Homo-oligomer: A and B are copies of this chain.
Amino acid sequence: MLGPHVPELRALELLVVVSRTGSLGAAAAELGITQQAASSRVRTMEALVGEPLVTRSKRGSELTPTGELVVQWADRVLDAAQELDAGITALRADRRSHLDIAASLTIAEHMLPGWLVGLRTEQVKRGQQPTEITMTATNTARVVEMVGAGDVTLGFVEGPDAPRGLRHRLVGTDELLVVVGPTHPWAQRSRRRVSATTLAATPLVVREVGSGTRTVLERALADLPMAAPVLELSSTASVRAAVAAGAGPAAVGAHAVRDDLATGRLVQVAVTGLDLTRRLHAVWKGGPTPPEGPARELVAWAARRH
């Protein structure tokens, strides 16, 4: 739960823009509000944090060290918010938009927003008008159907089954990794390998019912007798923290724990007889490459990441 001292997104954005422009007025203009509004808003932020964030002078405003600090933290929040924005924008794009895509849930959840932000950034950098993209998130079968029927120009699906009649290109992989804390018995070098049966019989740290990760895991272990979870948490961050602290093994999306694995905070355990990997493909109808224009650019952008 969020504390009472965290400014809202718009306020954070304002602070970041002030940091970049070096002036309250300029930042206000950029965000389409008046200088007074910006001034007041920064003031209430300072009340929240309890320290001055900007030093005001008669020829501009500079951030205080505290302000710089907050901006750095806010940057990360806004990066994530930008992906959220891209996702929402794609969901609500007017039907006069220029590119219709459909994506499976996993891709829509974890990969697409980043790609959309990337594509948009690239287009803006080239001086182009950003493409309006309409996204439909549904299951893989339905995505293939929609692409086949021409309802959408482009689809993103989970493999490994190559959809018949459609062209495709690999754009990434999605993998659940089984991880444990460094102090867990499974983390011993000699036995970083367990069977699917053992995994299923072990009480795990899991996400709540209904989460994508949980669903994938349960589907993969569906045939085996499963132990009750040791801990059920509501965010990936909590799961990572609990596992690192030794609560038990968990299956987590690979992208979410790359850092933890690199730093040794978490240790990956191979599971024999269990495939938690899925290949992610872009699919389209017609020629050997996606239709020219934004569709092709988006696929190229996505593929570049594998």
Identify the A interface with B (CB < 8 A): 1-3, 5-6, 8-10, 12-13, 16-17, 19-20, 30-31, 48-51, 63, 65-66, 68-70, 72-85, 87-89, 91-92, 105, 108-110, 113, 117-118, 121-122, 125, 137-138, 172, 182, 208, 210, 212, 234-238, 241-242, 244-245, 247, 255, 258-260, 262-265, 304-306
Q: What distance in Å separates the Cβ of A50 from its nearest Cβ neighbour in chain B?
A: 4
Q: What distance in Å separates the Cβ of A182 from its nearest Cβ neighbour in chain B?
A: 7
Q: Which of B3, B69, B92, B138 contacts A109 (CB 8 A)?
A: B69
Q: Which of B2, B6, B75, B262 contacts A235 (CB 8 A)?
A: B75
Chain B residues contacting A105 (CB-CB under 8 Å) are 65, 68-69
Q: What distance in Å separates the Cβ of A229 from its nearest Cβ neighbour in chain B?
A: 14
Q: Are B304 and A182 in contact (CB under 8 A)?
A: yes
Extra pairs beyond A66-B91, A74-B84 (17, CB < 8 Å): A2-B10, A2-B82, A5-B85, A5-B88, A6-B81, A6-B85, A8-B9, A12-B84, A16-B235, A69-B108, A70-B88, A77-B81, A79-B80, A79-B235, A118-B244, A121-B241, A264-B305
Chain B residues contacting A31 (CB-CB under 8 Å) are 1
Distance in angstroms between the alpha carbons of A65 and B136 in the assembled complex: 10
Chain B residues contacting A83 (CB-CB under 8 Å) are 73, 76
Stoichiometry, as copies per complex, reads 2
Distance in angstroms between the alpha carbons of A6 and B49 in the assembled complex: 23
Q: Are B5 and A89 in contact (CB under 8 A)?
A: yes
Q: Which of B51, B242, B255 contacts A259 (CB 8 A)?
A: B255
Q: What distance in Å separates the Cβ of A33 from its nearest Cβ neighbour in chain B?
A: 12
Q: Are B49 and A236 in contact (CB under 8 A)?
A: no
Chain B residues contacting A70 (CB-CB under 8 Å) are 84, 87-88
Distance in angstroms between the alpha carbons of A247 and B118 in the assembled complex: 14
Chain B residues contacting A49 (CB-CB under 8 Å) are 88, 91-92
Distance in angstroms between the alpha carbons of A83 and B70 in the assembled complex: 11
Q: What distance in Å separates the Cβ of A31 from its nearest Cβ neighbour in chain B?
A: 7
Q: List 8 A-B contacts (CB under 8 A).
A: A8-B8, A50-B91, A69-B91, A72-B212, A76-B80, A77-B77, A264-B305, A265-B304
